[in-house]
């Protein structure tokens, strides 16, 4: 039987300034590409609580300070593409953490990979090519030549769960796992509000109009650098016409005929579960 691994990451405090003295053992999120160094045994996933990756025979190319959990500091680091993992450890994709760590730990791992990837991708200025430098007081890299400042990239996504009486509009993308359906979602374009994006995406992806948008929750999502912003909304007209190349199938589903749904760690699943709860309460 597997048990969830937790860093008590809900207590995480993000910080910029590294400790002046070596902090002793710290939580290290060590990546090779976007794969995280973990130890898996007996259905349990563990992250390294060590003084430094060199103690595991790994020499980081670069490292980033993240903050603290209680009195324990947290770091991310990047290893060379050909670095061999220590015995009984492996580099694993973040999606493999589903079901083996709690939500807060997964969110912190997602923060770590995004900060690591931003630091790696902005060693040189995208405007003039000069080497960049860390800017004190904020999470950014600045170009000493042209002054361009590079921040970690965040791509907002508007997610819509459309309801028609006691049915939910769910769809599946070609890259979903077999049989799985989810809420509709799309990236916000330049100059577009979240609400405008939601209306446009639903219209483009399934040909349906919506109204009465209601904010639900947001969730950072590191695949690759997204911020998912979820809404409930009501059907306002139109027939389902799946967008070719984007939507493989879409349909209205009552609560007693649901397809395979997303993982409970995702905001899409929480959005669907909340709607089902409202529908069940209305029937009492």
- How do residues 215-254 score in pLDDT, each as one tens digit? 999 999 998 899 999 999 999 999 999 999 999 999 999 9
Interval 39-68 mean pLDDT = 91
CATH 3.90.79.10 in the chain, residue ranges: 155-282
CA angle 108, 72, 93 (to 5 degrees): 30
| Residue 147: its H or E element | none
d(CA 208, CA 267): 22
- How do residues 94-130 score in pLDDT, each as one tens digit? 988 887 888 889 999 999 999 999 999 999 999 999 9
Q: Identify the band that residue 1 occupies on the pLDDT scale cut at 50, 70 and 90.
A: very low
Parallel/antiparallel/unpaired status of strands 155-164 and 226-237: parallel
CATH of 9-121, one of 3.30.10.20, 3.40.640.10, 3.90.79.20, 1.20.58.220: 3.90.79.20
Residue 283's pLDDT is what? 67
d(CA 100, CA 177): 19
Structure token pair of residue 21: 């003295």
Q: Identify the band that residue 33 occupies on the pLDDT scale cut at 50, 70 and 90.
A: very high
Inform me whether the pLDDT recorded for 2 exceeds 60: no
- Distance (Å) of CA 177 to CA 161, 182, 235: 19, 11, 27
| Residue 49: its H or E element | strand 49-50
Q: Give the side-chain half-sphere CA count within 13 A for 212.
A: 10
Nearest to 113 by CA among 150, 137, 90, 79: 79
Parallel/antiparallel/unpaired status of strands 26-32 and 72-78: parallel
More confident residue, 40 or 257: 257
User: Quick one: fold of 155-282?
Assistant: Nucleoside Triphosphate Pyrophosphohydrolase (3.90.79)
- If DSSP codes are grouped into helix, strand and coil, which group holds residue 33? coil
CATH 3.90.79.20 in the chain, residue ranges: 9-121
Report the predicted TM-score, pTM, of the whole model to 2 decimal places. Answer: 0.89
């Amino acid at each position: 039987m597997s048990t969830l691994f937790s860093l008590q990451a809900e207590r995480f405090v993000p910080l910029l300034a590294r400790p002046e003295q070596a902090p002793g053992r710290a939580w290290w999120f060590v990546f090779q590409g976007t794969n995280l160094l973990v130890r898996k045994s007996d259905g349990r996933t563990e992250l390294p609580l060590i003084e430094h990756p060199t103690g595991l025979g790994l020499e980081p190319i670069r490292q980033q300070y993240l903050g603290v959990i209680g009195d324990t500091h947290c770091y991310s680091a990047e290893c060379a593409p050909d670095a061999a993992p220590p015995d009984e450890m492996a580099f694993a994709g973040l999606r493999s953490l589903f079901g083996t760590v709690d939500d807060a730990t997964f969110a912190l791992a997602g923060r770590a990979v995004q900060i690591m990837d931003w630091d790696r991708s902005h060693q040189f200025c995208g405007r003039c090519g000069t080497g960049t430098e860390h800017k004190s007081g904020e999470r950014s890299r600045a170009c000493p030549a042209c002054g361009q400042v590079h921040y970690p990239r965040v791509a907002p996504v508007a997610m819509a769960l459309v309801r028609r009486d006691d049915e939910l509009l769910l769809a599946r993308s070609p890259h979903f796992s077999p049989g799985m359906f989810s809420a509709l979602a799309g990236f916000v374009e330049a100059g577009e509000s979240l609400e405008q994006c939601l209306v446009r995406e639903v219209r483009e992806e399934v040909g349906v109009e919506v109204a009465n948008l209601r904010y639900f929750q947001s969730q950072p999502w590191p695949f690759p650098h997204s911020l998912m912003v979820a809404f409930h909304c009501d059907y306002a007209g139109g027939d389902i016409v799946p967008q070719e190349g984007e939507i493989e199938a879409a349909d209205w589903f009552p609560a007693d005929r649901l397809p395979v749904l997303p993982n409970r760690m995702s905001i899409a699943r929480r959005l669907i579960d909340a709607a089902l709860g409202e529908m069940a309460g209305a029937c009492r």
